[in-house]
Structure 1
């Protein structure tokens, strides 16, 4: 029951009684007339139905009127004025359920090519009877890799050597091409350290994929110091492709005027902070084009000419990033200042520090159980009668000793500090200090050496 209670606290769930939220505007507008009159669950894209597994018995019983698809993602909407006319902008994101999970326990891809934290984000613009849609996607690097928590702040990345890796990458991008058309991959990872190794492996696999353009952009290096405007260098590389892909546009009668023919797929390691900053930059470029085509802006104007309107747009993307980050990492997004102000501020640094600490705690001591809850609710783990519970260990359970170890460490540091302050009085205090310090160091070494065992980890399903 505890897993079900955890599942009940899942954030970012949305539903509608009369509209299919799983389909973006372009796909929905091109549905066959007969399909529109079918029950919502029959119209829905199964990738984005969060409660797909929970609906199976209702579907078998043909209780269509009780079947309501849920999606997990984000929804933000705001209105501003251009040329004395209202403009409505909406951000709507849909999280894929095919590799559902938490930040550290669902990385990379599975053997079918589905990636962790795969999200389709749609930017909708409404003006004077015209409606426009611009789609971007994000998703973990589609290789087989892991990053197991071990109490360190940044656990080591590990690429899983597997003979299926080339096929995994092919399956992933074949699926993207079939659904979205021409794909441009923007890899925002570092070129050094473990990230660099993963990025190099990704680039090598992309060299074997035909028809997909791969662009590496070292976000931390190029935007060092929080200079958001340096993303213009990335845009200059892919501007022609983005303009060719375009966006979707239809009039008040439902007549399709333009279609989006491709998609930009962005990723960093988590597909959260750097990815959100980059997607917001590309979305602002598209918004200018959308509003110019609709007649709300002239060909030389930009949304940034109005500070108020620009701030509204930035706020939408900050809130969008926070919501997606809460769902995957359990904390607010980092680098929100770069979206809101184009630079890092002191309050933003403090907020990022708090979010980083929150991520550390949740990833190490909570997300294993949360992953089990998601695996159970999504049907990746099924309970069968007579089977042994994976939670019945019957042996040494390291995690249960962590509070004791922590208390010993804190107590040891306190005792060592106190006895050191008394060393000048007699030799006994000096010996006590050595004993306390030795005990503390020993416990710290024990915890560090067994970091993985002291962390919360999932029991129901494997990593791939």
Structure 2
């Protein structure tokens, strides 16, 4: 069942009425979706031929309903008010949502009520999340599911009648939480099934390119789907939770579609990889240092959590090759050791652990040495022919991908993307040979024009995933784009690294709050934002630093006072020296109390981790001078 592709929204004081555009009706009976603002209830009504336009004060066109979210004082319906066409995939149009509106459902939601300090903050967070990253949708195609999953679910007419939201992969159904009311209403009121109005959204990356190799045209595509579970920002979301969900989990699907004479999309091939944080309990606690404090707490549920994660991985993808790219020396080593210990204790025969010291092996920017990792994976049983194929050219057949490579580094961003793009290129050579586009002796690397496009798509993919997690574009993308390291690329990496430091310490708290609110990890009906409980002198120091800096600048910029005619020497510049001492003292104080100057999340504040002093590994406790634990302190997360 496809969705209505857009509606006219009629707004009145007592209801919101969504009427599908007349051109979308086709043979399906036209229905309207009504939200009663007085009773806060949902209804579905048929639209009779020639029915009058509902009474309204305002009206405008919307492209889709994201869902309904409950905030502090009222519920809001979220709608897409603008979008742009991204591509056409297998006959279905794909759109990128570009603008949104939040409409209060309560008829009593006056402007003064919406200016309530908590409600105002939550509204701002929802809007921030909506514009945070690329949100893609389709009225017909299931963007949340890879091609293999869609085929396994069925492509016959009965499967096509299943509503899009029921076919969607719940991991990548980004607006699953805010669509809960519509889905529950459809399940409990079969006579008022709202399925044609429930629009699944995918947060991630989507790109398709028309390609030509050896005179053969085909569609090349890359999709990255971001999981809505344990979603967060770089330093505020690490490792695994009790349910087996890991931070920064993404499924990346590379695919090609080849037409045959008189048979569009006759051959479809896809290759799926996953990435996700090291699946053990660990955290990095910001303290204004470039390297945060690393914490690996010992918790009784650690083995159960990784068992759940790997069980799901095996169930969904088959055999897993776990490629670990963290350093085997220094700061990152404890994370590597914890991961290896967990996998060893797990003892799952369908989970194959592979370690590759990326920084050592690729020292001097020799990223082509990732080929050594590919060779190692081949020795362990991975084949370049293990990908999905649906071929309808002659005797129709389906070949399933039976394994997956799960790659991680510390952030699952930069090193991970170099490895994933290398594996994708390795498999693509075999796919194009099987499709008759490449000769048995050819490789994709032999075609410069195609490789230029391939590298840039993968670099764009890296930037999108990186911005969603770290706040900046990916590092090392000059190699991904050009196949070599450049001075400009190294300089850009330096800028991105500095930008990450600033954003991760001073701005990511709000981004984390926005993600927790939209995905349902924090409940505004039962919880309140975490208050600022810092001592007055802690709050004062940044202001002293700013004021002293202003006075220092003024003392240097203004002309000096001429010495008195009876003085032999100019007076000692006491004023600027005083403010230099104040500034220095402020900097020292802030550095010693660094943890208290980090922009922590205020919804799900990680105070338990900040004050954790139980068993486990600690890289240090820097920037914690004067930090006192709250009365509610516990020893485990």
Please tell me whether the aligned partners of residues 385 and 431 of structure 2 are also in contact (alpha carbons under 8 angstroms).
no
Match of 1:215 among 354, 363, 383: 354
Match of 2:513 among 363, 372, 377: 372
The residue number in structure 2 matching 1:252 is: 392
Please tell me whether the aligned partners of residues 321 and 354 of structure 2 are also in contact (alpha carbons under 8 angstroms).
yes
Aligned residue pairs total 459
Would you say 1:239 and 2:412 are equivalent positions?
Answer: no
Would you say 1:106 and 2:237 are equivalent positions?
Answer: yes
- Choose 146-155 or 252-261, whichever is displaced more: 252-261
TM-superposed CA distance for 1:441, in Å, is 2.4
TM-superposed CA distance for 1:397, in Å, is 7.4
TM-superposed CA distance for 1:413, in Å, is 6.7
Seen in structure 2, the aligned counterparts of structure 1 residues 236 and 443 have a Cα distance that, compared at 3 Å, is: same
Would you say 1:58 and 2:182 are equivalent positions?
Answer: yes
TM-superposed CA distance for 1:6, in Å, is 1.3
Alignment partners' CA distance in 2, 1:81 and 1:7: 38
Please tell me whether the aligned partners of residues 399 and 456 of structure 1 are also in contact (alpha carbons under 8 angstroms).
no
Seen in structure 2, the aligned counterparts of structure 1 residues 214 and 405 have a Cα distance that, compared at 3 Å, is: farther
Would you say 1:3 and 2:125 are equivalent positions?
Answer: yes
Alignment partners' CA distance in 2, 1:325 and 1:384: 32
The residue number in structure 1 matching 2:219 is: 88
TM-superposed CA distance for 1:244, in Å, is 7.0
Alignment partners' CA distance in 2, 1:399 and 1:301: 65
TM-superposed CA distance for 1:428, in Å, is 2.3
Alignment partners' CA distance in 2, 1:160 and 1:172: 19
- Where 2:171 maps in the other structure, the secondary structure is helix
Larger radius of gyration: 2
The aligned runs of 1:253-332 (5 Å cut-off) are 255-332=396-473
Would you say 1:356 and 2:497 are equivalent positions?
Answer: yes
The residue number in structure 1 matching 2:60 is: none
- Choose 80-89 or 372-381, whichever is displaced more: 80-89
How well do the aligned residues superpose, as a CA RMSD in angstroms? 2.5
Alignment partners' CA distance in 1, 2:284 and 2:219: 41
Q: Which protein has greater RCO, CA pairs closer than 8 Å, 6+ apart?
A: 1
The residue number in structure 1 matching 2:597 is: 454
TM-superposed CA distance for 1:410, in Å, is 3.6
Would you say 1:182 and 2:319 are equivalent positions?
Answer: yes
Alignment partners' CA distance in 1, 2:555 and 2:296: 42
TM-superposed CA distance for 1:395, in Å, is 6.1
Which digits, 9 at most, give the CA deviation of each residue in 1:283-337, with x for residues without a partner?
Answer: 0001001111111112211011111111111011000101111111111111101
TM-superposed CA distance for 1:450, in Å, is 1.5
Which digits, 9 at most, give the CA deviation of each residue in 1:332-386, with x for residues without a partner?
Answer: 111101212232211112221222222122211111111111111111111226x
The residue number in structure 1 matching 2:40 is: none
Alignment partners' CA distance in 2, 1:462 and 1:320: 31
Alignment partners' CA distance in 2, 1:176 and 1:451: 39
Seen in structure 2, the aligned counterparts of structure 1 residues 147 and 412 have a Cα distance that, compared at 3 Å, is: farther
Alignment partners' CA distance in 2, 1:159 and 1:283: 33
Alignment partners' CA distance in 2, 1:70 and 1:276: 24
Seen in structure 2, the aligned counterparts of structure 1 residues 324 and 414 have a Cα distance that, compared at 3 Å, is: same
Seen in structure 2, the aligned counterparts of structure 1 residues 47 and 225 have a Cα distance that, compared at 3 Å, is: same
The residue number in structure 1 matching 2:73 is: none
Alignment partners' CA distance in 1, 2:311 and 2:326: 23
Alignment partners' CA distance in 2, 1:202 and 1:395: 36
Match of 1:24 among 146, 170, 176: 146
- Where 1:53 maps in the other structure, the secondary structure is coil
The residue number in structure 1 matching 2:79 is: none
Alignment partners' CA distance in 2, 1:163 and 1:351: 43
The residue number in structure 1 matching 2:257 is: 126
Structure 1 gap segments, 5+ residues each: none
Match of 1:225 among 356, 364, 378: 364
Alignment partners' CA distance in 1, 2:555 and 2:358: 44
The residue number in structure 2 matching 1:43 is: 167
Match of 1:171 among 287, 308, 313: 308
Alignment partners' CA distance in 2, 1:444 and 1:94: 42
Which digits, 9 at most, give the CA deviation of each residue in 1:188-214, with x for residues without a partner?
Answer: 111122211111111111112322111
Structure 2 gap segments, 5+ residues each: 1-122, 187-193, 260-265, 562-567, 607-636
- Where 2:153 maps in the other structure, the secondary structure is coil
Please tell me whether the aligned partners of residues 137 and 200 of structure 2 are also in contact (alpha carbons under 8 angstroms).
yes
The residue number in structure 2 matching 1:196 is: 333
The residue number in structure 2 matching 1:428 is: 572
Alignment partners' CA distance in 2, 1:317 and 1:164: 37
Alignment partners' CA distance in 2, 1:416 and 1:239: 67
The residue number in structure 1 matching 2:45 is: none
Alignment partners' CA distance in 2, 1:15 and 1:112: 28
TM-superposed CA distance for 1:5, in Å, is 2.0
Seen in structure 2, the aligned counterparts of structure 1 residues 304 and 350 have a Cα distance that, compared at 3 Å, is: same
User: In proportion to residue count, which structure has more strand?
Assistant: 2
Would you say 1:149 and 2:273 are equivalent positions?
Answer: no
TM-superposed CA distance for 1:399, in Å, is 8.5
- Where 1:133 maps in the other structure, the secondary structure is strand
TM-superposed CA distance for 1:245, in Å, is 6.9
TM-superposed CA distance for 1:10, in Å, is 2.1
User: In proportion to residue count, which structure has more helix?
Assistant: 1
Would you say 1:12 and 2:134 are equivalent positions?
Answer: yes
Please tell me whether the aligned partners of residues 329 and 363 of structure 1 are also in contact (alpha carbons under 8 angstroms).
yes
Alignment partners' CA distance in 2, 1:347 and 1:306: 25
Alignment partners' CA distance in 1, 2:539 and 2:530: 13
- Choose 260-269 or 127-136, whichever is displaced more: 127-136
The residue number in structure 1 matching 2:588 is: 445
Q: Give TM-score, length-normalised by structure 2.
A: 0.68
Alignment partners' CA distance in 2, 1:230 and 1:405: 51
The residue number in structure 1 matching 2:523 is: 382
Please tell me whether the aligned partners of residues 220 and 256 of structure 2 are also in contact (alpha carbons under 8 angstroms).
yes
